[in-house]
Structure 1
Amino acid sequence: MNVLKDRLPQKGIFMIIGGAVSVTLFLIFFLPAGEKGESEAEHVVFPWEEETGEEEVSDSQIAFKQETFIVDIKGEVVNTGIYTVEEGERVQDAILKAGGFTGNANDKLINLAERCYDEMVIYVPSMDEEYENILSSSPAQTGLPSQQEGILINSASAEELTALPGIGPAKADAIINYRDENGPFKSGEELKEVPGIGEKTLENIVDKIIIR
């Protein structure tokens, strides 16, 4: 009985030592691996993150690329010269870029609502010039199309379009509406997409229009 009592404290000591050794071994073999795993987890890059990280594009870089045109503005404007205009801008916008009209400008002979196109010549006559003289000296200038050259289908007003055979006010409005919704006509054949204009009508006007 006494021998058993003597051995009990020794057994407790061995248990304490064994527990300490177990904890030490656990710290040596498992703790570094855990820390390493956490470190690696922090640097994990998923495939979708890798793809989008370098190719991320800001909203400003996705902006719509708008076409620009070069126009030549002459006559009674504050600053004559060559100007760049954006697609869809009107003659009025171009004239404002040139500083506006002078005090002697006759704006009654200019179609301010006409759309600008590349290589366009915008001539603003003076109050002293007569309509007939302007027609004979500058037939291709805006607002005053020559009947020999044809009607600029992508910039003509409703009044100008009705000068074409078979084109009344309703068809002229339909052409303008189609142009506003779909952009400039790229060919004469595209006119057949306009409601009310068929093959026969196109044959009557195709040699009297200009597409540019």
Structure 2
Amino acid sequence: MRMNKKIFDKIRFFIFLIGLAMSMAACSGKEAVLLEDSDLVREQGLDEEKTGFPAAEKESAKQVEESTLFVHICGEVEKPGVYELPEGSRVYEAVEEAGGFTEDAAADYVNLAQILEDGWKVEIPSKEEQTEVFAGIADDGRVDINTAAKEELLTLPGIGESRAESIIAYREKSGGFSRIEDIMKVEGIKEGMFAKMKDKICVRGVR
């Protein structure tokens, strides 16, 4: 019986040691977790000290910044200026932000469905400016050889810089063309070239 009691006491002692070891290990694990949390708090605190808001909010703000764009809208709008819009916005949304068109705006000239890009300048012309721009273009899209600017003449088949200047010089000297066939009086323009452009030119009032 004495021997059994000694063995029993030893077993109890070993169980005590095992329990103590497990308890110490558990405490060490909790301490490690607390230390990790403390490091995380200090790290976030450092970000907050530098930026004014925690790291998570900083990342969120960065995403918001990347999803917007800035455009400059001017001309015939009520409130010209630079506006911040969501990425993927279209011209009509920029016009709305700027208070809408003025009464003199050439609204039909603008492609309101165009998707905007960051840094764009959108200029809304007046009705008078639109008329000046298209002074050399008839309603059906043909080029009026009596009023067309050099840039408009360059859109015609076979017309380069030199021939465009010759057309302008001829009409200024002669007082203009009375019919489209008269363009063949300009040096360098013959029947073959006229045949390619005759459906693309006009003299106002002449079909």
TM over 0.5, shorter chain = no
Q: Higher helix fraction: Structure 1 or Structure 2?
A: 2
TM-score (norm. length: structure 1): 0.39
TM-score (norm. length: structure 2): 0.40
